[in-house]
Structure 1
């Protein structure tokens, strides 16, 4: 079930909210939390009910391991728990990738099982690994199974994050049964949900048409079309993930739950370090706290610190997907952070505008590997971008404009306008923090966005979010 589908917006979400508050109104607080768990598992199982036992078993086993770690704090049990979670993730996500490379390296013909990746396994695996580590470190004091189940399965953040931390969420769930409808939260939740929906259906999905068309025909692109293709994906991903993050925060706020900020205008970043403080913030925190620091962080020699950065981002790249393109993408960001760290040591400062341009250009080129079907396709597109196209001095842009009825002028205006919005506009959290009162303009915006989504959904299927693939 997609956040941008009519089924979710007009059926699942209002029914879930209504039943939850009805149960609370009758003082059935545990039943209200249990209802949210059931609704969240239904939301998860709507894609493929066969994987419901997987997430249910994962919740049960990790909760039991957490109890043991709090009671005994044995390192062997922590290693077992982490290994179990990583092995589960590795089996579903990396088996085909491993066998494919094994066949290629040794000229074997081992059949690929073609395992279907369970939704959200990357997210709830990292989430529960963090929980086990903190149980071992005696940083948790939550013993309620219902609260833990809701912490893992809560549907606004289940499929594509944010990767919530137990200390951020479980105290809220412990008080969840005492909450009643808070109309200010409902109004703010609807507003931010609608902002995210607007980003997805009005902006990201249009960029997707051009990006998909360009990547499907890389060999036919001119140099100018190659640049537009790369930029369209760069902004598709920006507004797609930003839109999802807003919708997750907005949906949670309907239940008086505040999810952590996961997206803070990353294309305004003036360094690669600044970028990772703004992009997928909760993933950055996980990589820092549970991989980089345990490896030694920056407490050892400089060469070891640089190695720790590279290892952390190689893992971050693989977390996103089982493919060499993701490994290369992670390696590029790791190298960029090492270079940034080395440059900082010189004490030489780059002018702010130049630093921003350099950061954005690097991120744009790195996204090419993130999106491409293979390293060869990525390199092909980059070559077209960097080598002047003598064969097409006056490109027709037909490869891209045939993908939509907006035409070349519409494409250019769409790209320019929303690029400026990403570079200079206020993000959703900034807008929400300045809106003290809900007014008529907000209501009109919400209604128009929901109406457009409903009408467009009658003519086509809702497009999935990009991070649903990870």
Structure 2
């Protein structure tokens, strides 16, 4: 089920809220209702995968209880190892099976072995598995570290993992973020109204900006031949805006929906295209993933405590694994390595880094261009496509025919221009207080009407991060 669908807005959400506020009065009953409805939300795509999420959640709940009670260091380490293996094995199987199967099929087909039977591919990736696996895993790790106590009951833990606002595309929540709120949270008209503001903001970012610049990006990355320099830049810039406004739209909507039921969900974006360095970008982009990788991977690897060369290696390794978290493809490997190397260079050069010699606006522009180049690998279907687009950006076509794509679509270009100016010049919704007055009501009321009209008149498009 999509947030930007009439089924969600006109049926699912009203039913959930009517029962939540009109029928149920205790926090336990409301948590149980949210858990049930979250599974309905998740099972809308494929009910079978509800069983997988239930099994994963129950496993970590039981292991978490034993971890907290066990005093023996050896047993605690064994339990921790067990939960890491179980979680990462499930995630790895669904996420990387097709990649390795296709690689083996290609290798053996090249070898032309007559006795080789191709491995079956086409395994479906469960929506949101990357997010809820990391959430569940952080729970047991935090218990192992004695940083959090286990959930009071099974329903609360199931509610934490399955809570529909952040279930399928984040932010990646930790139990410590929601522990208190699962036991007691505030509900007020003001909080509900701010939630509507975030919800409508996310709808408008997705429906008006992300979905309208997407065709510009698709035209360039799906082109069968080389494109002009101008078209290549338009396509790369369009995807740079599409992924930000699409992903941050989901995060805004998750925050808004959370507020409407009393939950305060963490910030996931902080004007990332205004960053002055790549390290600064990763403090602003997909903040929940960046902090997860820092606390559960970078720090355990030694962080910056084992010398400068080990620090550089850790940065590269963490970003490489962050790339693989997004999917099993060489494009994600290169994207992760690219960002890892850039961060290692910034750390190594310090104040001698060329970016540091520029004025602030120059640092922002240079960082933006570096990030844009990285998005080319992230978006491309394969490495040849990525290198073709990168070559087109500088006028290189490698003997390929040049295909003008006629991307000068007035509406798409207008939204692309607007998105670029806003993302690079203005603060996002998190950085400014929401003023609840009649003007706000009128503006966001009209925004909701526009969103509904767009939902009813155009085909719903999934959020980009559903595939990760």
Hey, what does 2:160 align to over in structure 1?
A: 151
**Would you say the 8 A contact 1:200–1:243 is kept in 2?**
yes
Matched, 1:315 2:317: no
Distance 1:380 1:139, change over 3 A: same
User: Given the alignment, which residue of 446, 449, 452 partners 1:451?
Assistant: 449
CA separation in 1, counterparts of 2:303 and 2:48?
Answer: 40
Matched, 1:223 2:229: yes
CA separation in 2, counterparts of 1:374 and 1:157?
Answer: 29
Hey, what does 1:69 align to over in structure 2?
A: 67
CA separation in 2, counterparts of 1:374 and 1:261?
Answer: 32
Larger mean CA deviation between 131-140 and 230-239 belongs to 131-140
**Would you say the 8 A contact 1:215–1:229 is kept in 2?**
yes
1:303-337 Cα distance to aligned partner (Å, 9 max, x none): 11111111111110010111111111111000110
User: Given the alignment, which residue of 22, 28, 31 partners 2:29?
Assistant: 31
Q: CA deviation at 1:171?
A: 1.1
Hey, what does 2:386 align to over in structure 1?
A: 378
**Would you say the 8 A contact 2:388–2:397 is kept in 1?**
no
User: Given the alignment, which residue of 126, 130, 135 partners 2:138?
Assistant: 130
Matched, 1:22 2:22: yes
1:320-368 Cα distance to aligned partner (Å, 9 max, x none): 1111111111110001100111121648732222221211111001001
SS at match of 1:55: helix
CA separation in 1, counterparts of 2:180 and 2:27?
Answer: 15
Structure 2 matches for 1:297-308, cutoff 5 A? 297-308=303-314
CA separation in 2, counterparts of 1:204 and 1:390?
Answer: 31
Hey, what does 2:431 align to over in structure 1?
A: 430
Hey, what does 1:412 align to over in structure 2?
A: 413
SS at match of 1:295: coil
Q: CA deviation at 1:57?
A: 0.9
Matched, 1:168 2:199: no
Hey, what does 1:404 align to over in structure 2?
A: none
1:428-464 Cα distance to aligned partner (Å, 9 max, x none): 1123x2x34x222222232322222322233332111
Hey, what does 2:103 align to over in structure 1?
A: 101
Hey, what does 2:90 align to over in structure 1?
A: 88
**Would you say the 8 A contact 1:23–1:31 is kept in 2?**
no
1:132-162 Cα distance to aligned partner (Å, 9 max, x none): 1111111112332221111101000001000
User: Given the alignment, which residue of 327, 344, 347 partners 1:341?
Assistant: 347
CA separation in 1, counterparts of 2:272 and 2:305?
Answer: 28
Structure 2 matches for 1:230-245, cutoff 5 A? 230-245=236-251
Hey, what does 2:147 align to over in structure 1?
A: 139
**Would you say the 8 A contact 1:365–1:382 is kept in 2?**
yes
**Would you say the 8 A contact 1:218–1:226 is kept in 2?**
no
Q: Please, which runs of 5 or more residues in structure 1 have no aligned partner?
A: 402-406
Larger mean CA deviation between 198-207 and 143-152 belongs to 143-152
Hey, what does 1:369 align to over in structure 2?
A: 377
CA separation in 1, counterparts of 2:188 and 2:310?
Answer: 50
Structure 2 matches for 1:324-363, cutoff 5 A? 324-344=330-350, 346=352, 349-351=356-358, 352-363=360-371
SS at match of 1:365: helix
Matched, 1:464 2:462: yes
Matched, 1:206 2:212: yes
Q: CA deviation at 1:395?
A: 8.8
1:400-436 Cα distance to aligned partner (Å, 9 max, x none): 34xxxxx3x44433222221100011201123x2x34
**Would you say the 8 A contact 1:195–1:243 is kept in 2?**
yes
Distance 1:18 1:353, change over 3 A: same
Aligned alpha-carbon RMSD (Å): 2.1
Q: CA deviation at 1:44?
A: 0.3
CA separation in 2, counterparts of 1:217 and 1:267?
Answer: 27
CA separation in 1, counterparts of 2:208 and 2:443?
Answer: 13
CA separation in 2, counterparts of 1:411 and 1:461?
Answer: 17
SS at match of 1:294: coil
SS at match of 2:152: coil
Q: Please, which runs of 5 or more residues in structure 2 have no aligned partner?
A: none
Q: CA deviation at 1:32?
A: 1.5
Hey, what does 2:120 align to over in structure 1?
A: 112
TM-score of the superposition, structure 1-length normalised?
0.92
TM-score of the superposition, structure 2-length normalised?
0.93
SS at match of 2:225: helix
Larger mean CA deviation between 97-106 and 87-96 belongs to 97-106
CA separation in 2, counterparts of 1:249 and 1:323?
Answer: 31
